């Protein structure tokens, strides 16, 4: 394993499941990415921070603070301080996420609120929590918790709601929460004085599709969903005035046959021409070109491991977190949107996400 990052290397943090959350990873680890070659290496001057069940990471917009889900039944979230030398330390104690198995979080653009999606369990419904953030980025107790109603037809996956992602639309006007169990995207308005969420729309998506994650096109008028249960990618029209979605077209997430496939991460290119999706089961990353409101498949590249979950675009490369094989692969984005892997994957036990800083 190389130990000397190249000059100009970019900082990346990875999150992984830890032994106390069913995995073998270290929690939060620091990497360096060569922006020219896309080669990831561990930053050996920074010790990993043992954050329990670090399944998703989000950065504060103005502070050197990163937030992590602690994906366990106990349901907590953590704040991590990044120091000037790159080292990591806990910023206060973990705080209740208000639900079970928190799996995604995001910081509101103003930097005063953290939003967390709690997946729930077989019997506990999905929820979305709001936490106030102190001036130094520390977490306070939740200021609001909303419970998602609904269920779906897929046995074993949709007996109740399962919030899977929470994000703010590009205009900063609405908070959107995908729900895999309810086949819905819930739209909220955040009161930035009180930290409370007001539901303004419930977008019912295709029955049994199981929406997992969304990615907005740069203009904000189109949004793409990775549909975990139907193994599709759907393009939706997004109404910026009302926060509502209208499905326009869907395509299969993979051309692989004979495997049960579950799309995971989804990323839209800054130019607005391409969309990429990880395929857990096919173990590929699929590339699509946007034509009007339709997606044209461009082919699939091997993910560099098994069960590709998180997908992060940085410096013209897609970082793919392969959970089951414990590998982090960098795929180079070609001018036509297709992908290739220039280097062997990096060993990263139970890795599930990467965050470029």
CA–CA distances in Å: residue 135 to residues 21, 64, 79, 96, 221: 30, 12, 13, 19, 33
Tell me the CATH number at 268.
2.40.10.500
DSSP notation for 282-325: TTEEEEEEEETTEEEEEEEEE-SSSSEEEEEEETTEEEEEETTT
Tell me if 240 is assigned to some domain.
yes
How confident is the model over 162-195, as pLDDT tens digits? 999 999 999 999 999 999 999 999 999 999 999 9
- pLDDT-derived band at 8, boundaries 50, 70, 90: confident
Q: What is the pLDDT of residue 7?
A: 60
Q: Which residues, listed in sequence order, are joined to residue 80 by a DSSP beta bridge?
A: 66, 90
Q: Is the pLDDT of residue 3 over 90?
A: no
Structural domain includes residue 159: no
| Residue 251: inside a domain | yes
| Helix H or strand E encompassing 355 | strand 351-356
pLDDT over 70 (residue 4):
no
How many domains does the chain fold into?
1
Give pTM, 2 decimals.
Answer: 0.96
Place of tokens 């990044």: 82
**Mean pLDDT computed over every residue of the chain:** 96
How many other CB atoms are there within 10 angstroms of residue 314's CB atom?
A: 19
Considering the domain boundaries, does residue 71 fall inside one? no
What is the strand order of the sheet 196-204 is part of?
163-168, 175-179, 184-191, 196-204
Per-residue b or e along 59-73, where b marks 16 or more CB atoms closer than 10 Å to that residue's CB: bbeebebbbbbbbbe
CB contact set of 188 (below 8 Å; sequence gap of 6+)? 128, 146, 174, 175, 176, 177, 197, 198, 199, 200
Structural domain span for residue 253: 205-302
Establish if 267 belongs to a structural domain.
Answer: yes
d(CA 47, CA 221): 42
Beta-carbon count within 10 A of 293 CB:
14
pLDDT in tens, 308-323: 999 999 999 999 999 9
Say if 31 falls within a structural domain: no
Quick check: is 186 in a domain?
no
Dihedral pair phi/psi, residue 21, rounded to 5°: -130, 20
Task: Inform me whether the pLDDT recorded for 2 exceeds 60.
Answer: no
Residue 336 in domain:
no
């Amino acid at each position: 394993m190389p130990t000397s990052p190249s000059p100009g290397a970019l900082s990346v943090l990875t999150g992984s499941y830890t032994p106390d959350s069913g995995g073998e990873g270290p929690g939060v680890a620091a990497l360096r990415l060569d922006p020219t070659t896309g080669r990831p290496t561990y930053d050996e001057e920074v010790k990993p921070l043992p954050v329990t069940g670090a399944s998703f990471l989000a950065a504060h917009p103005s502070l050197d603070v990163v937030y992590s889900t602690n994906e366990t039944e106990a349901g907590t979230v953590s704040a991590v301080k990044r120091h000037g030398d790159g080292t990591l330390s806990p910023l206060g104690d973990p705080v209740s996420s208000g639900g079970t198995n928190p799996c995604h979080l995001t910081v509101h653009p103003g930097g005063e609120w953290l939003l967390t999606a709690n997946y729930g369990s077989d019997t506990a419904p999905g929820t979305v929590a709001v936490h106030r953030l102190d001036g130094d980025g520390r977490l306070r107790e939740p200021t609001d918790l909303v419970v998602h109603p609904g269920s779906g037809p897929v046995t074993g996956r949709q007996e109740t709601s399962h919030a899977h992602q929470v994000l703010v639309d590009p205009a900063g006007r609405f908070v959107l929460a995908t729900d895999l169990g309810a086949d819905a995207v819930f739209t909220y308005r955040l009161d930035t004085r009180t930290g409370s969420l007001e539901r303004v729309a419930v977008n019912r998506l295709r029955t049994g599709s199981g929406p997992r994650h969304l990615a907005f096109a740069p203009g904000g008028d189109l949004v793409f969903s990775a549909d975990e249960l139907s193994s599709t990618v759907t393009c939706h029209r997004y109404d910026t005035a009302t926060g509502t979605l209208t499905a326009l077209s869907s395509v299969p997430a993979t051309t692989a046959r004979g495997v049960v496939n579950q799309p995971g991460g989804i990323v839209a290119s800054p130019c607005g021409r391409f969309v990429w999706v990880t395929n857990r089961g096919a173990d590929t990353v699929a590339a699509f070109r946007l034509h009007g409101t339709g997606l044209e498949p461009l082919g699939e590249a091997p993910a560099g491991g098994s069960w590709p979950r998180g997908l992060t675009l940085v410096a013209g490369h897609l970082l793919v977190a392969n959970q089951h094989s414990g590998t982090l692969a960098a795929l180079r984005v070609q001018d036509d949107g297709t992908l290739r892997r220039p280097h062997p994957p990096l060993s990263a036990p139970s890795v599930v996400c990467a965050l470029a800083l």
